Amino acid sequence: MRINKYLAECGLGSRRACEQLVLDGRVAVNGKTADKLAFEINPENDKVSLDGKKVRPILKHLYIAFHKPKGCVTTTSDDKGRKTVIDYLPAKYKEKRIFPVGRLDYETEGLILLTTDGDTANRVMHPRHELAKTYAARLESDITEAELEKLRRGVELDGEKTKKCKVRRLESEEGQARIEVVISEGRNRQVRRMFEAVGKNVTFLKRTAIGEIRLGGLGRGECRELKTHEIEFLKRF
């Protein structure tokens, strides 16, 4: 088994994050530093450690849905001292090696998934799966049907056109439009930048669903464990 896959099964992060642990020289196998990504291990016989502490695969993984509030970062720690999604979790989850699956912008609230299952997280985040993510946006001003259609067809960001997406008007109130957007990409600040490309400013943005997993009535800063059918959905990838 490749060393990065083993570390992911130990709940140390996605395979990509675990690759960095290896490259940083923090991983040892049978007392010797494993600094090559192609390193193969025998899970039954080899002793693997991170920063000198032995690690083992997690037998039962944890899968969490969390309503990220605006003004917190989707990382396990932050060198700027900002609140992270981990800070909001109950103590019983903080004791686990849990980490966020993907990211959500600092100024955006809504659904984020957290897990100890690095292997599943790695598959879910892979761009080839084009996992649908649903957002509710409020704009500073109204928007025309022609502008909505332009968003659906794709707009240019960083020299590359966004993929076709679903965009529909929810309602307009006092000149401010509320829009639902479903995208299958994960570019940096993508939804906000898409609206900027048609001259619109987003004043509020919330992710309401990731594939078949919905935020529902989960309050800001609250979390819940995923239901069986939701876990099965993630494992299809």
105 is catalytic: yes
CA proximity to 67, closest of 215, 175, 192: 215
CA proximity to 18, closest of 2, 41, 40, 42: 2
Rounded Cα distance, 233 and 236, in Å: 5
Angle of helix 190-197 relative to helix 145-153, nearest 10 degrees?
Answer: 130
| Cα angle, residue 57 at apex, residues 52 and 60 outer, rounded to 5° | 135
CB 218 within 8 A of CB 65: yes
Phi then psi for residue 87, to 5 deg, are -60, -25
Q: Which of 87, 105, 117, 142 is catalytic?
A: 105
Alpha carbon distances (Å) from 57 to 7, 10, 34, 92, 116:
8, 4, 18, 19, 10
Task: Pull the structure tokens for residue 111.
Answer: 């659904």
Catalytic residues: 105
